Amino acid sequence: MSYIEVRHNFKKYQTGDTEVLANNDVSFSVEKGELAIILGASGAGKSTILNILGGMDTNTSGDVIIDGQNIAKYNKRQLTTYRRNDIGFVFQFYNLIQNLTAKENVELASEIVKDALDPVQTLIDVGLQKRINNFPAELSGGEQQRVAIARAIAKNPKILLCDEPTGALDYETGKSVLQIIANMSREKGATVIIVTHNSTIAPIADRVIHFHDGQVTQIEQNPNPEAIANVKW
Ligand X SMILES: Nc1ncnc2c1ncn2[C@@H]1O[C@H](COP(=O)(O)OP(=O)(O)O)[C@@H](O)[C@H]1O
Site residues for ligand X per CB under 6 A: 13, 15, 20, 22, 40, 42-48
Q: What's the alpha-carbon Rg for the chain, to the nearest Å? A: 17
Least distance from C-beta 172 to ligand X, angstroms? 25
Q: List the alpha helices (DSSP H) in the chain.
A: 46-53, 76-86, 102-110, 119-125, 141-153, 171-186
- The candidate with the shortest Cα–Cα distance to 188, out of 102, 125, 103, 111, is 125
- The candidate with the shortest Cα–Cα distance to 53, out of 43, 63, 44, is 63
Quickly count: other Cβ atoms within 10 Å of residue 148's Cβ: 28
Nearer to ligand X, 13 or 233 (CB): 13
Helix, coil or strand: residue 56: coil
Residue 73 one-letter amino acid: K
Least distance from C-beta 47 to Mg ion, angstroms? 3
Nearer to Mg ion, 41 or 97 (CB): 41
The option from ligand X, Mg ion, none interacting with 20 (CB < 5 to 8 A, set by class) reads: ligand X
Least distance from C-beta 48 to ligand X, angstroms? 3
- The candidate with the shortest Cα–Cα distance to 233, out of 196, 197, 201, is 201
Nearer to Mg ion, 47 or 105 (CB): 47
Nearer to Mg ion, 122 or 196 (CB): 196
Least distance from C-beta 85 to ligand X, angstroms? 25
The option from Mg ion, ligand X, none interacting with 149 (CB < 5 to 8 A, set by class) reads: none
**How many CA atoms within 13 Å lie on the side-chain side of 79?**
16
The option from ligand X, Mg ion, none interacting with 98 (CB < 5 to 8 A, set by class) reads: none
Nearer to ligand X, 48 or 144 (CB): 48
Contact criterion met (CB below 8 Å) for 220 and 207: yes
Contact criterion met (CB below 8 Å) for 143 and 96: no
Q: Which x/- pattern over 30-49 shows residues binding Mg ion (rule: CB under 5 A)? A: -----------------x--
185 touches Mg ion by CB under 5 A = no
Judged by the rule CB under 5 A, the positions of this chain that interact with Mg ion are: 47
